[in-house]
Chain A
Amino acid sequence: MPRALQDVVFVDGVRTPFGKAGEKGMYTQTRADDLVIKCIRELLRRHPELPKERVEEVAIAATTQIGDQGLTLGRLAGLLSGLPATTPGYSIDRMCAGAMTAVTNVASSIGFGAIDVAIAGGVEHMGRHPMGEGIDPNPRIVAERIVDESALVMGKTAENLHDRFPHITKERCDAYAVTSQRRLAAAYAAGKVQPDLVPVATRHVERGWGLATVDEPPRPGTTLEELGALKTPFRPHGNVTAGNAAGLNDGATACLLASQTAATELGLPVGMRLVSYGFVGVEPEVMGIGPVPATEKALRQAGLTIDDIGILELNEAFAVQVIAFLDHFGIADDDERVNPWGGAIATGHPLASSGVRLMTQLARHFEEHPDVRYGLTAMCIGIGMGGCVLWENPHHADYGKES
């Protein structure tokens, strides 16, 4: 049977404000599944032109799939969001790239022609489900030295990366972190972040209900001096601190993807067109380098080079890992094309949810920069992987033409 591939477009994306994990955090008594349900509801509210029964898949990522992040979250979140019983769903786990994988998965289904409209997203309530909760690593990992023991502690993999690239100093990382905080504060001040935040009612027995409307983790006034004084918990005399890494956070994201045909038929706006994507494994003990080969793969598949990329949304699990990427591609630490509104060091990084945050922001950047034709979203992934998705700007004059 002859088969034509369909173009896949990113219609719209939203996220909850991100919270600090732990008892003092704003989501401490709010359910994880409720966070992602609010995101799905917001997408449906924003797009009344989309009949609910046209949503043909709900893929939701969570790294720790137990408790309120378990039970085939994608399916239940769909039902609890008011999608019809005919809309199926499933759960995804690729650690930090969960939501990114949810997107590439449903995009592939759309591209193949199996479905036309899907919701993809992720959630991580690291307060309720700390990374590694309930895990049972195979003893062969240690016995046969399949991976270095440090590979399971993300902060240690970041220190390992410093060992690999001694020219990436703590000072560079701290400076990068200050920039991230400053850029997010500026984006907030300009009202750029807020439109894609879904307000979330926060439950708390002692404090009563509240409403989360802004991110909790940012420290807008952070200075180099303050960062220099922080402890290096992963290694004595190390480089990785709470200040130059993303924190432990709670939050969720979701986005709407469609075939170009369905988007046209239903009148759904097109935020970005999927160009290519790549996931690649690297040595687990230096997982932070993962985005480099992943990006090279995605570029190769698209027939593009890094010079064709006008805007980059990189997840900032650790400053060292972003800088390693930038060094590899010859991009300056403070290049304006990279994370123009700051990154995860400032906003927080609720593991499996972050991929869609990058995409939602890239779609907004595309709107503001019709001169930019291509952008990318990339992130490092625990246990040694990287992921990269390339997107085309529909507002560009040459959109849709052969490059």
Chain B
Amino acid sequence: MTTSTTAAPSSAPAIPAEVVTHTPVQDVTLPGGAGTLALLTLENGHDHTRPTTFGPQGIAELAETVGRLRERAEAGEIQAVAVTGKPFVFAVGADLSGIPSVVERRQATEFARAGHAAFAAIMDLPVPTFAFVNGAAMGGGVELALACDHRSISAGVAAFALPETFLGLLPGWGGCYLLPNLIGPANALKVIVENPLSQNRMLTAKEVAALGIADVLLDPADFLEDSLRWAAGVLSGTTSRQRPEVDRDAGVWDSACDAGRKVVLAKSGGRATGALRAVELVRAARTATREEAFTAEDEALGDLGVRCAPSSSSAPRGPPPGRRPSPPRTRRWATSR
């Protein structure tokens, strides 16, 4: 804090510029004649002590890159797209430290929409998409991985979580919709509400694979090379992928959500409004279209009012990136996805 008379008063901390996550892409020739894969790296130019996060500029850049990939896929130049992170970090979600305090509900939902649009664009790519989860993945990072068709995870990943409900929010970039449809409502609610409300428990890579969130667990030593080999196998059909069968029966689905709601009530005495809302989004995910679900997430984030901002300060620093985000320090208005 400077002593200059023109400085902001100390009660209003200076807002640092967004550490923008860039999205460079390199083409990779896959083994076995499986074609060309466009490999996108989430990279903010810092080492692992400043994990990769998504702010408005980063989301805009991601959307632009995905747009270009779409053109290349349609032109037949690439046969697959994969997303991975810089060493030790895949992506740890949203970073709103770079934008001024959000005072209107509209501002809160706008950023949610931008993320949804970028992730939906990944889902709509006309070629198979892969997430190679090489390092810490939280919140929006996990949701980005969920937006891809296939996922590998490094056995070295120590932190994989949707910590939003721990912060009074909910996974609002597709998490409440994509996860239950991938692994069923019971396991999804474990990740979305039960773990966050249990001192913000993280998943290990092994658990991520056992839950079926990741399709394959690979050694860290040559994770990226192995992931590309695996992707080539998936594309050529030589690698079979086993996913747990999701029971879509309405009764089963609802009772899982009822149980999830009980967990939230028991753990928070009903004060975790974000978690309660998340349970209902998961309930609706059985029949909702993607558009309905994403809109509901946008609205939920707006409604929650968001009294806390999980900025980069709440992201884990340093490997193993397994530490919990610290509780919010300010009460300024901001969305915090």
Asked whether A and B interact, the reply is: yes
A201 to B41, CA, bound (A): 12
Contact A213 B26 (CB under 8 A): no
Taking CB atoms, residues of chain A closer than 8 Å to B182 are: none
> Which residues in chain B, 1-56, are within 8 Å of chain A measured between CB atoms?
23-26, 28-29, 31, 39-41, 43, 45
Query: Chain B residue with minimal CB distance to A206?
Result: B24
Q: Does B75 sit at the interface, judged by CB under 8 A? A: no
Q: Does B224 sit at the interface, judged by CB under 8 A? A: yes
Contact A199 B24 (CB under 8 A): no
Contact B221 A82 (CB under 8 A): yes
Query: Chain B residue with minimal CB distance to A82?
Result: B221
Nearest Cβ on chain B to A19's Cβ, whole angstroms: 15
Nearest Cβ on chain B to A44's Cβ, whole angstroms: 10
A199 to B26, CA, bound (A): 15
Taking CB atoms, residues of chain A closer than 8 Å to B222 are: 37-38, 41, 201
Q: Which 10 A-B residue pairings sit nearest by Cβ, starting from the closest?
A: A208-B41, A208-B24, A201-B224, A210-B26, A211-B28, A209-B41, A41-B222, A199-B225, A201-B225, A208-B26
Q: Does B87 sit at the interface, judged by CB under 8 A? A: yes
How many positions in chain A have a CB within 8 Å of any CB in the partner chain?
A: 20
Contact B224 A208 (CB under 8 A): no
Number of A-B contacts (CB under 8 A): 52
Taking CB atoms, residues of chain B closer than 8 Å to A81 are: 221
A374 to B224, CA, bound (A): 40
Against A, the Cβ 8 Å flags (1 = close, 0 = not) of B218-231 are: 01011011001100
Query: Chain A residue with minimal CB distance to B224?
Result: A201
Q: Does A152 sit at the interface, judged by CB under 8 A? A: no
Taking CB atoms, residues of chain B closer than 8 Å to A209 are: 26, 39, 41, 84, 224
30 contacts between A and B (CB under 8 A): A37-B221, A37-B222, A41-B221, A41-B222, A80-B221, A81-B221, A82-B219, A198-B225, A199-B31, A199-B225, A199-B228, A200-B225, A201-B222, A201-B224, A201-B225, A201-B228, A205-B45, A205-B86, A207-B24, A208-B24, A208-B25, A208-B26, A208-B39, A208-B43, A209-B26, A209-B39, A209-B224, A210-B28, A210-B39, A211-B225
Nearest Cβ on chain A to B337's Cβ, whole angstroms: 25
Against B, the Cβ 8 Å flags (1 = close, 0 = not) of A191-215 are: 0000000111101111111110100
Taking CB atoms, residues of chain B closer than 8 Å to A38 are: 222, 225
> Which residues in chain A, 275-334, are within 8 Å of chain B measured between CB atoms?
none
Query: Chain A residue with minimal CB distance to B87?
Result: A203
Which DSSP category, helix, strand, loop or mixed, fits chain A's interface? Answer: loop
Contact B221 A211 (CB under 8 A): no
Nearest Cβ on chain A to B50's Cβ, whole angstroms: 13
Query: Chain A residue with minimal CB distance to B27?
Result: A210
Query: Chain A residue with minimal CB distance to B84?
Result: A209
Nearest Cβ on chain A to B216's Cβ, whole angstroms: 15
Nearest Cβ on chain A to B219's Cβ, whole angstroms: 6
Contact A211 B228 (CB under 8 A): yes
Known contacts: A37-B221, A201-B222, A203-B87. The answer to whether A208 contacts B31 by CB under 8 A is no
Contact A213 B29 (CB under 8 A): yes
Nearest Cβ on chain B to A65's Cβ, whole angstroms: 22
Query: Chain A residue with minimal CB distance to B46?
Result: A205
A201 to B132, CA, bound (A): 13
A210 to B29, CA, bound (A): 10
Against B, the Cβ 8 Å flags (1 = close, 0 = not) of A209-230 are: 1110100000000000000000
Against B, the Cβ 8 Å flags (1 = close, 0 = not) of A354-376 are: 00000000000000000000000
> Which residues in chain A, 69-83, are within 8 Å of chain B measured between CB atoms?
80-82
> Which residues in chain B, 194-245, are within 8 Å of chain A measured between CB atoms?
219, 221-222, 224-225, 228-229
Taking CB atoms, residues of chain A closer than 8 Å to B224 are: 201, 209, 211
Against A, the Cβ 8 Å flags (1 = close, 0 = not) of B152-169 are: 000000000000000000
A209 to B38, CA, bound (A): 10
Residue among A37, A38, A81, A209 with max Cβ neighbours from chain B (10 Å): A209
Query: Chain B residue with minimal CB distance to A80?
Result: B221
A38 to B223, CA, bound (A): 10
A199 to B225, CA, bound (A): 7
Query: Chain A residue with minimal CB distance to B30?
Result: A211
Nearest Cβ on chain A to B58's Cβ, whole angstroms: 14
A38 to B229, CA, bound (A): 14
Query: Chain B residue with minimal CB distance to A194?
Result: B31
Query: Chain A residue with minimal CB distance to B24?
Result: A208
